[in-house]
Structure 1
């Protein structure tokens, strides 16, 4: 079964369900998961889908059916995972800056927990002592990721407990006899250099002698996804080889039977997603031709927030003469998706497809300008189904309380 959806089919889906529209090809998710399985075959590795990338319940259920576990960044994501059918022991909860109340709920639900701060580690020890095994999210002071906004392991990052506070960590662990079974790091997103993960192993393995009960080394996620046609993503086969070569050669690995965990999010769902938009208006200045679509950063914030690149294609006119267009949105803010991008000739009413929109697309959408969130559609083995209705007017004030 092909993991791509033809432009003709995408146009048909736009006509059938309207635009803007998120379309997810579930066969692509399967392809990406099988890449991981193949590369790490024969190793003691578990994969936890970082569901913050896309939490539609159908995506969660499908990922579960493939055999993946799930990584959650909030207690509500944990509850969504349970609703999707994941058993507690296939759920990992790693959050930051959160109230200890959330950790207490996660403990009651029986999921794996990674603790992100000395404060919550102390509270955990006071509340539970050695009654419940727990993981530590550490900040390794490694700069990695596509840009600073998606780099989470550097020395000025809010994420994790700094490794240079090891003495403080050990003081708390010893005082409350906390059962630490997992050492976790996540250095960022869009990491192409597999050497970053090897550095992470060195950091964590140097700490192993201090944590005799550790069973898991969690290297997080952040695998690079190719957004441009000439880009290369993370070499997953090389990653598997380098990671396990590093583990086998480290002296602190001797006598330890350790699991290695990864938390791929974007890697699994980015390429499955396409945002379909309709061209509302063409404008021309002395230097620029604008094509304004019926969407904006209220539906896809990545280009404005991260300076992220998305391939955009005019799928209504695949053979049109190529010219440069600036693709912009329809909200009352600067929401430029692309400047001076070579595109097949665009006419009002054409359908533009934004590629690699599965991760952090709909998930970060809003009702800014009181505009509706898009519908979502899944495609699996050539069959399409609506998995989220488009907003309606009543949705804009559903939770408001009129007192005047």
Structure 2
């Protein structure tokens, strides 16, 4: 992986020459978010990136990530003095992104052995990692217990396996239980994880979660540290969180009253949404912190002690920072619609086909002659439509498009389907850019095949 800094001077070697008065790379990305992609100067700057590094191309704005972290801390830290914020690695596992967020003081929330190893490679200690998965395999349990990570236990079956592995290692496993609070936060069904029918967590109802804590308390191989829930992703209203917080804090009191347990932390998960459409209103960290504050104070007063509040956003930190730059291959007029065919598909950005997710699209350097089109990918599947029925400036072969808000669940979900190599990833810092993942090649596709 090359981390060699590139300045704008080097980009002058690209066909799209930049000018002294052009915006910085960061300013160009901000302009695209602000729907000013038609500005020729903005287009020149991003054409320079695409010419130097090829397309499709993931580009992340470091300043945006830092700003998101700062906004969450500013909202929560004054209201919740006992606070710990973690980053949910599954949103974006590039080690440079992980390292950036570690540098901001965030812990690591992981869901696989691979993510555990990424966290370790970027400098996290095992004690700084929470391992959450509803289906952990023996190797994952073995590694997490050996490292001293917090295991977020999802079932009684798993609790028994954790106990047995801790006994083999002659260690005491640190655990929390993931609780299913039975709350619907009104988000996309596939990422709605707190509803009763979800596969995640031990239900509060019928005393299921209480019995799990009771059993764990009796196991000398287990050290109970906390309580966890996560009700979903891309949540845009506070109501789901406030209802969940009430249930969780009532359970904190129940655990103390009935089992004598005092928890080190209560984790309310992540899931804070971001705007995917121009003008879309979503709750801010300030909105959420303000709504949770009185519930938290009342709950800890009733419990008689205050655990540390843990939060673990992913998308919120990195989603809006990411752009996918793609080239137009052809424009195709059919009797029913116009397709703008680009050099990326759901192998590059899966969210549209997986969730019918909406991503804003900008045509760089053009603002006139609007037409309604479908942005079609290059994967040989009918459903490979990245954006449907969008009114955009008329594009032509060779034009550059920017797909917005691709910093979360973008590259981390990408694949080599149709034998297409993986795109490169860049991190922009002001007027500098680093290659934080080189573009894949056919050697990567053919690896491990013996051919």
TM-score normalised by L of structure 1: 0.95
Aligned to 2:244: 200
Following TM superposition, by how much is the alpha carbon of 1:310 offset from its aligned partner in structure 2, in angstroms?
Answer: 0.2
Range that drifts further, 27-36 or 243-252: 243-252
Structure 2 CA distance, aligned partners of 1:299 and 1:223?
24
Select the residue among 135, 152, 159 that pairs with 2:193: 152
> Secondary structure of the residue that 1:369 maps to in structure 2?
helix
Q: How do 1:233-248 and structure 2 match up within 5 A? A: 233-248=282-297
Deviation by residue 1:344-363 (Cα, 9 ceiling, x = unmatched): 11011000100001111111
> Secondary structure of the residue that 1:133 maps to in structure 2?
strand
Structure 1 CA distance, aligned partners of 2:119 and 2:321?
20
Q: How do 1:162-311 and structure 2 match up within 5 A? A: 162-164=203-205, 165-177=208-220, 178-208=222-252, 209-211=254-256, 212-250=261-299, 253-311=302-360
CA contact (8 A) 1:378 1:386 kept: yes
Does 2:143 match 1:105?
yes
CA contact (8 A) 1:145 1:189 kept: no
Structure 2 CA distance, aligned partners of 1:110 and 1:167?
24
Question: Relative to 1, partners in 2 of residues 1:372 and 1:191: Cα closer, same or farther, differing over 3 Å?
Answer: same
CA contact (8 A) 2:300 2:306 kept: no
Structure 2 CA distance, aligned partners of 1:370 and 1:13?
24
> Secondary structure of the residue that 2:218 maps to in structure 1?
helix
CA contact (8 A) 1:3 1:31 kept: no
> Secondary structure of the residue that 2:109 maps to in structure 1?
strand
Unaligned runs of 5+ in 1: none
CA contact (8 A) 2:145 2:166 kept: no
Structure with the bigger RCO (C-alpha within 8 Å, sep 6+) is: 2
Aligned to 2:19: none
Following TM superposition, by how much is the alpha carbon of 1:3 offset from its aligned partner in structure 2, in angstroms?
Answer: 6.8
CA contact (8 A) 2:59 2:426 kept: yes
Following TM superposition, by how much is the alpha carbon of 1:89 offset from its aligned partner in structure 2, in angstroms?
Answer: 2.8
Question: Relative to 1, partners in 2 of residues 1:216 and 1:171: Cα closer, same or farther, differing over 3 Å?
Answer: closer
Unaligned runs of 5+ in 2: 1-23, 32-41
CA contact (8 A) 2:180 2:204 kept: yes
Q: How do 1:58-137 and structure 2 match up within 5 A? A: 58-128=96-166, 131-137=172-178
Deviation by residue 1:240-270 (Cα, 9 ceiling, x = unmatched): 1221210111266442121111111000000
Range that drifts further, 194-203 or 298-307: 194-203
Select the residue among 317, 332, 342 that pairs with 2:380: 332
Structure 1 CA distance, aligned partners of 2:142 and 2:301?
33
CA contact (8 A) 2:127 2:147 kept: no
Following TM superposition, by how much is the alpha carbon of 1:31 offset from its aligned partner in structure 2, in angstroms?
Answer: 0.5
CA contact (8 A) 2:210 2:255 kept: no
Across the aligned residues of Structure 1 and Structure 2, the Cα RMSD in angstroms comes to: 1.8
Structure 2 CA distance, aligned partners of 1:360 and 1:131?
34
Deviation by residue 1:92-125 (Cα, 9 ceiling, x = unmatched): 1111212243122101112222111111112223
Structure 2 CA distance, aligned partners of 1:325 and 1:52?
32
Question: Relative to 1, partners in 2 of residues 1:131 and 1:252: Cα closer, same or farther, differing over 3 Å?
Answer: farther
Equivalenced residue count is: 401
Question: Relative to 1, partners in 2 of residues 1:145 and 1:367: Cα closer, same or farther, differing over 3 Å?
Answer: farther
CA contact (8 A) 2:179 2:209 kept: no
CA contact (8 A) 1:26 1:379 kept: yes
Deviation by residue 1:22-78 (Cα, 9 ceiling, x = unmatched): 001111100100001110123221111111011111111111111111111112211
Structure 2 CA distance, aligned partners of 1:217 and 1:3?
39
Structure 1 CA distance, aligned partners of 2:359 and 2:158?
39
Aligned to 1:323: 371
Structure 2 CA distance, aligned partners of 1:371 and 1:266?
26
TM-score normalised by L of structure 2: 0.85
> Secondary structure of the residue that 1:179 maps to in structure 2?
strand
Question: Relative to 1, partners in 2 of residues 1:120 and 1:100: Cα closer, same or farther, differing over 3 Å?
Answer: farther
CA contact (8 A) 1:316 1:352 kept: no
> Secondary structure of the residue that 2:320 maps to in structure 1?
coil
CA contact (8 A) 1:281 1:293 kept: yes
Does 2:391 match 1:353?
no
CA contact (8 A) 1:180 1:213 kept: no
Does 2:362 match 1:313?
yes
> Secondary structure of the residue that 2:176 maps to in structure 1?
strand
Structure 2 CA distance, aligned partners of 1:135 and 1:229?
39
